[in-house]
Structures are given as structure tokens and as C-alpha cells.
Amino acid sequence: MDSTSMLYQDVESELLVTKEKIAERVRELGRQIARDYEGRDLVVVSILKGSVLFFSDLIREIDMPLTIDFMQASSYGNAAQSSGFVHIKKDLDRDIEGKDVLLVEDIVDSGRTLAYLKTMLKERGANSIRVATLLDKPEGRQVEMEADYVGFIIPNAFVVGYGLDYAEKYRNIPEIGILRPRVYQG
Ligand code: 5GP
């Protein structure tokens, strides 16, 4: 990280996950997913917007034919605290009946968003539904929700970068860091 960069000014100086670590782990997950889904009709779904960077890197590491789709759900407003309410802002474009669906998420915290989405998509007759998440905060869990592929387990702090935002900012930071509390404490 360049310490003079304006991009990093609201992030704690000790980064949680660097670019190199992300690239290495995404490569490993891609290989594992390709092995697990060999010969299957895989649809990889990006949960917008937080997962877009992880998603676009991950699908390029999955060396097999697949299709992609997008979905947007939100359980957070602008606050760094979960509201517990899940709202579908954008649904899938294509039918998933009989398909093997891999939901790609940026982070699992309370688990509510993914638990809700999994239940909803199961009712549409998918052959299987699994979850790949870049980050997992097990300490935040409120409902039972285990991701099938996890990039990194992190402590219970509010993080930004590599797609993750606070009030729509910081998504373009190429690595992951803890947001300085002064930003949301005003
Ligand atoms: P859950 O439903 O598991 O509580 O929340 C998942 C969603 O909350 C994520 O997709 C993400 O949008 C948001 N979220 C949870 N923890 C964090 C965090 O540390 N940083 C950011 N930027 N978003 C978070």
C-alpha cells in the first residue's frame, strides 16, 4: 500500500488482506470449484454489488464452461450495522430449475442475507445451491449459515475494499482493510 494514497486515508494502516493474498486464495478456490463441479450445469451468481470484484476474478479461475447471473439483495442501509431485513432489489434473469447454483457473496456476517436467498432459490427447483464467500465473520452469526467456499475468516470488524463499501465508497480499494471508526462515528 502507498501510505500517501488518498484512497486509503479512511482505512486502518494495517491491512487485513493484501492483493497478493486475495489473488492466491481466489486461484485456490477457483481450482477447487472446477474440480467439485466437473461435468455439471453450473450457474455462478454474483450478489451485487459487494461481490463484483471477487466474482469477476473468481470466474476467471474456474476452468470449465459455466454461465453467470446477478442478483441484488440488501440487509444493510448505510449503517455499519445489520438491520436484519432482506430486500430483493434485482432478481435473476434466468430460470435455475435443474441447475447447480453457486452464490458468490462478499462477506457473511449475521448470515441472514444468504439464509434467505438459499431458501428462496431452493423453492425454484435448483439441483443444488452452494455459497462462495470471500470473507466470513463467524462471530457475527445470528442464524445458521455455513458457506461452502470461504476465502478468509476475519474478526468482527467493519471492513471495506475489494468490492466492499461503506455508504457506496471504498469499493475500488484493491485490498481489504478495517474502516477507521471515525468515518461512521462522525
Ligand atoms: P449478513 O446478512 O450476513 O449479516 O450480511 C451480509 C451483508 O452485509 C454483506 O453482503 C455486506 O453487504 C454487509 N456486510 C456485513 N459485514 C460487512 C463489513 O464488515 N463490511 C461491509 N462493507 N459490508 C458488510
Q: Which ligand 1 atom lies nearest to the CA of residue 111?
A: 3
User: What is the rounded distance in angstroms from the CA atom of residue 9 to the CA atom of residue 17?
Assistant: 17
Ligand 1 atom closest to the Cα of residue 154 is 19
| Span 124-145, pLDDT tens digits | 999 999 999 999 999 999 999 9
Cβ count within 10 A of residue 147: 19
How far separated are the first and last CA of the chain, in Å rounded?
25
Q: Which three cell numbers stand for residue 45?
A: 451468481
Structure confidence at residue 78 (pLDDT):
47
pLDDT tens digits for 55-70?
999 999 999 999 999 9
Of 49, 164, 184, the one to substitute when testing ligand 1's pocket (max ligand atoms within 8 A of C-beta) is 164
How open is the CA angle 29-47-177, to the nearest 5 degrees? 65
Question: How many Cβ atoms from other residues are within 10 Å of residue 112's Cβ?
Answer: 20
pLDDT higher than threshold 70 for residue 73? yes
